[in-house]
Amino acid sequence: MKESHIEHAYDVDIESFDYAFACEDMERLLDKLHGVERREVLEWTDDGKGFHRVFRYHVTRSFARILEKVVGSDLSSLTQTMDYDRQEHRGAYFMESPVLGRRFTYRSDFSIEPLGPARCVRKSRITIELRVPLVGSRVEKQILHDVQSREKAEWEAYDRFLRRTWPQIKDRAIALWPKGAALDEAGRPVDNETDERLR
């Protein structure tokens, strides 16, 4: 099993980050960054105290391609389950492969902590385990390297979004949560009177 600890600070208050880091607009940016060809929302509920969501990703790159070389099967479909407690500002998500099942574990436990009135830090602990004889440990290292190599780009995407886009769409994004995006694919404000996704 391999483990990595990641910390990144952002110039936004913790209450805003609770919504911004997982809003649909941010997810679209991460989809492009991680080579997601298609993302399906299987489940997304929010009881006011936190949320539970399940996504199915169809990817064109990322660590799924590393795993494919080991098992010789198509692993382009991955499922992510995330739970987040907005009161404790803590959450976790794990990735699953229908092909590998329990032989593969990818889990991220994270917390959001305040650094001041308008600043917070996200701390993550990522664990990766591949239960395949002889090659498991080597492939874990490759996956961890892939995750770490994308870390800076992901932080920059979050940073730009929080500084440039979030202040403009904050109220709208929270009002639509968790139904849809505040911006369309072209980056224009969504007209929630006509947008079919919100009905």
pLDDT per position as a tens digit, 48-96: 899 999 999 988 766 666 666 666 666 678 899 999 999 999 999 999 8
pLDDT attached to residue 75: 67
* Boundaries of domain holding 151: 2-198
| 45, HSE (Cβ side, Cα atoms, 13 Å) | 3
Residue 99 has pLDDT above 60, yes or no: yes
Residue 38 has pLDDT above 50, yes or no: yes
Q: What is the CATH number of the domain that holds 102?
A: 3.30.530.20
pLDDT attached to residue 73: 63
Would you place residue 198 in the very low, low, confident or very high pLDDT band (cuts 50, 70, 90)? very low
Instruction: Look at the chain and report how many structural domains it folds into.
Output: 1
Question: When comparing pLDDT for 71 and 97, which is higher?
Answer: 97
Would you place residue 103 in the very low, low, confident or very high pLDDT band (cuts 50, 70, 90)? confident
3-state SS string for the chain: CEEEEEEEEECCCHHHHHHHCCCHHHHHHHHHHCCEEEEEEEEEEECCCEEEEEEEEEECCCHHHHHHHHHCCCCCEEEEEEEEECCCCEEEEEEECCCCHHHEEEEEEEEEEEEECCEEEEEEEEEEEECCCCCHHHHHHHHHHHHHHHHHHHHHHHHHHHHHHHHHHHHHHHHHCCCCCCECCCCCECCCCCCHHHC
Q: What average pLDDT score do residues 169-182 get? A: 86
Q: How many whole angstroms separate alpha carbon 27 and alpha carbon 13?
A: 19
The structure's pTM equals 0.84
Question: When comparing pLDDT for 80 and 197, which is higher?
Answer: 80
Q: How far is CA 157 from CA 33, 153, 162, 184, in A?
A: 8, 6, 9, 18
Would you place residue 97 in the very low, low, confident or very high pLDDT band (cuts 50, 70, 90)? confident
| 106, HSE (Cβ side, Cα atoms, 13 Å) | 21
Q: How far is CA 173 from CA 24, 160, 163, 177, 189, in A?
A: 8, 17, 15, 6, 10
pLDDT attached to residue 61: 65
pLDDT tens digits for range 105-164: 899 999 999 998 899 999 999 999 888 777 778 878 888 888 888 888 899 999 999 999
Residue 22 has pLDDT above 70, yes or no: yes
Q: What average pLDDT score do residues 23-45 get? A: 90
